[in-house]
Amino acid sequence: MVDLVGLHKHFIMEHLREGDVAVDFTMGNGNDTLFLSKAVGETGRVYAFDIQEEALASTRAHLESNGAPQNYTLICASHHRVKEFVSEPIKAGMFNLGYLPRSGKKAVTTMRETTMPAVEAALELLAPDGVLIVAIYPGHEEGALEGEMLREYFSSLSRFRICPSEFKILNSPASPYFFLVEKSPKAKYGEI
């Protein structure tokens, strides 16, 4: 069976190297933050965003207990504010849209009005030959709407600068799926 999380990591590692800068746009419990932190190593930098203090505490504990390098900055702010905190080009970004797993707070979820500006900012910050993974959870209404919105947006981008792909399990429509968004090595930083 297809392991979507394994595919995320595979595609990220096709672009990300030690010393690079990466962003976890939705840190949750810190699994992607840990993965990115170890991938970029001591000389790299990871920024991670979440609006819930609970997520920062959980992520910090997860990073410390799993020996992450001290290369991360945890930020309690919405991902759409990324450019207030990150000014350098990023080689990889990860979004896991939806709600904080195991929190019991399913009403606190990512929303289209902040997700769209966050994705646009991520693409502007993306370095040439950079990559974004955007995981969609269509099992709840806002998740399904976020997926539709992003599919339409990614479909409108220039194929000479941005290559968006969609990965989903066809016979399980409520299952999570993801967009892989790669920036051309010939594209310019800041250009979408």
Classify residue 189: in a domain, yes or no: no
Domain assignment of residue 91, given as a range: 4-183
51 dihedral zone (left: phi>0; alpha: psi -120 to 50; beta) = alpha
pLDDT of residue 107: 61
Question: How many residues can be counted in the chain?
Answer: 192
Classify residue 188: in a domain, yes or no: no
**Across the 192 residues of the chain, what is the mean pLDDT of every consecutive 10-residue run?**
85 97 95 98 97 92 97 97 97 84 58 88 97 89 86 95 93 89 92 84
Contact status, residue 153 vs residue 147, Cβ threshold 8 Å: no
Number of domains composing the chain: 1
pLDDT of residue 83: 97
Classify residue 192: in a domain, yes or no: no
- pTM of the full predicted structure? 0.93
Classify residue 70: in a domain, yes or no: yes
